[in-house]
Amino acid sequence: MKKFVNLLILLTATSLFAFTAFTISSLNEEGNTPVLEPLPIHPRVEQAVSFFLPKMHYKKQQLDDELSSQMFDFYLEMLDPQKLYFLKSDIDEFEKYRYSLDEALRNGDLRAAYAIFNRFMTRYAERLSFVKNRLQTPFNFTGEDSFQVDRKEAPWPETRAELDTLWSKRLKNEALSLKIAGKDWEAIKERLEKRYKNMEKQMLKTESEDVFQIYMNAFASTFDPHTNYMSPKTSEDFKIRMSLSLEGIGASLRTEDDYTTVVEIIPGGPADRSGLLHPNDRIIAVGQGEDGELVDVVGWRIDDVVQLIRGKKGTKVRLQIIPADAALSDPPVTITLTRDKVKLSDRAAKSDTLEVEHNGKKYRFGVINIPDFYLDYEAMRQGKEDYASTTRDVERLLKELQGADVDGVIIDLRRNGGGFLSEAVDLTGLFIEKGPVVQVRDSRNRVKIERDFDSKIVYTGPLAVLVDHFSASASEIFAAAIQDYRRGIIVGTQTFGKGTVQNIVPISRFFPHSKEKLGQVKFTIAKFYRINGGSTQMVGVLPDIRIPTRYDVMEIGERSEKNALPWDEIDPANYEPVDPLLDKILPRLNKLHQARVQNSEEYRLILKEIENLRKEREKNVVSLNIEKRKKEREERDALKKELKKVHKKSGHDDKEDFYIVETAHVLSDYIQIH
């Protein structure tokens, strides 16, 4: 369930569940799960959303059989992404709905939505019953069993016996991880029984509004990944988190395959300052203080997880996580964070200097880290002279660095998820005389060019921009403009590829006389295009000098999203390159870079770590033999220790990681060649 539970928790989080009262007409045949029905308002909302979304979305899409089929698949995937609950016979039975959901949307008919969901609830209860029985017998970890980690592309199970086998292996894998972590069978049994008992409690909290939101998001997903239906409760939570600074860890979370997964780290928050939590990490347990019990949260509703994570400023929370870059069989790690509010000072751009020796000559570079593209819009509107702004802060830092006689500047945009478009435009203006920065095309094919009108250039020296897979949106606009103007060298990995613009419309607009809370829809209204005409959507920005990272092997970015809007291009804007010679220099810079890193022991170990992770993920299975798992873990730990040892030996610290230092050498080559 990935699509519809994407939350921002700034310093807390809010729920997409916990809605108003729901309708239960009966219990299922076993008498242990509720049979849910739509609320009276749902058919009207369904008709309204299905009427205006095809007309207002950037992607002009017909309400037809093709959309119905796609929506059908999305709905099943949202309910059972790993194919661990439904039987093939269920899917065969549901096929009668595949080409009729478009008509159902028009007519306000929700029978298919609730019939499928109620069957899912029954299958879910069956699996929990199986788990309870299976955990009465200890597992044998000496055989040759293996567990398929990702079943998204696997066929639907034919029989209950096949499902029992899959679930037995799933439980055995979970138990083995706890065994390797030092737990005996009684402790393992207690942990897993508590986990699945909690999952049962979460299931029984399911409400009619939950079903409707999932179903309408299956419809929204047929347009693109950034189009969402938000129920009345979700809409209220959205407004709260946009207007208040609540206390917690500072992360964006979502529920995915029973796990609470980190989407984004909020600049200036506790998680950001700690450096211990990263995007795509999975949270499996939460504990209070230094020694409070770690409460297993696998399968929990996200609002309940949030209640455990949030708390008073200054208090500590422990998170047991499976790191994003962990191998498939790695055990979890526990981190401690101190709850706090997002501090604007910690979000602000910061600078440092870095000295390198290159071909016998010493160079000093300024490094400016920009966590996001921020702007205190309200303070600016009120005419306050000291309002916070990325561009204003970077301008000040550039002047300070030039006063320190730096030989070049590196702008570090790694993990910068974007922010204000105006700041990306104005920041570009610090490095060019004036001209177009980005093009925006709306749903009517009207193109607007955002320009820098200020002819003042703050910095004219050698420039590099360091990016990674998490550099998105405004970061990509800035990096693309610098690249298109040939103003600087882009170093790192392919960026996220978020090149779309969203708007939010309250559903109450279509029911002006209704007193009921009706939620809202967020949908895509425009796309960004570079000044060279190419979109930043899907492709993002490709670096001039590519340096791989472990995230290369993970599903990150717009490219990993189903049904993302495609890359395309429009006419280029009229602009003049700042350094036309850069295109001729780049092949030589790449050649020098490759020669240098091939002689780097640190780079060799980075590539080895990436390759090992790639092979394991492609294999998509883990051994359920304890000795094999221990040996694999020892080999990975040895590689990590060797990498840390080499990193320390190289003299790098956290501010001078391999990627920053290599970028400095690339700039040194540029200076010597140019």
* Catalytic residue ranges: 473, 484, 498
For residue 343, the 8-state DSSP code is P
Taken in order 65, 206, 43, 520, the sign of the CA dihedral is: negative
d(CA 645, CA 657): 13
Cα→Cα distances 656→94, 174, 574, 647, 667, Å = 56, 38, 38, 10, 15
d(CA 85, CA 148): 15
d(CA 466, CA 475): 10
What is the residue whose two structure tokens read 């360091």?
466
d(CA 58, CA 500): 9
Is there a contact between 431 and 458 (Cβ–Cβ < 8 Å)?
Answer: yes
- What type of residue sits at position 330? D
SS3 504: strand
For the chain, the distance separating the N- and C-terminal CA atoms, rounded to the nearest angstrom, is: 52
Strand 447-452, strand 435-442: pairing: antiparallel
**SS3 per-residue string spanning 221-256:** HCCCCCCEEECHHHHHHHHHHHHCCCCECCEEEEEE
d(CA 518, CA 512): 11
d(CA 663, CA 416): 18
Name 140's Cβ contacts closer than 8 Å, sequence gap at least 6. none
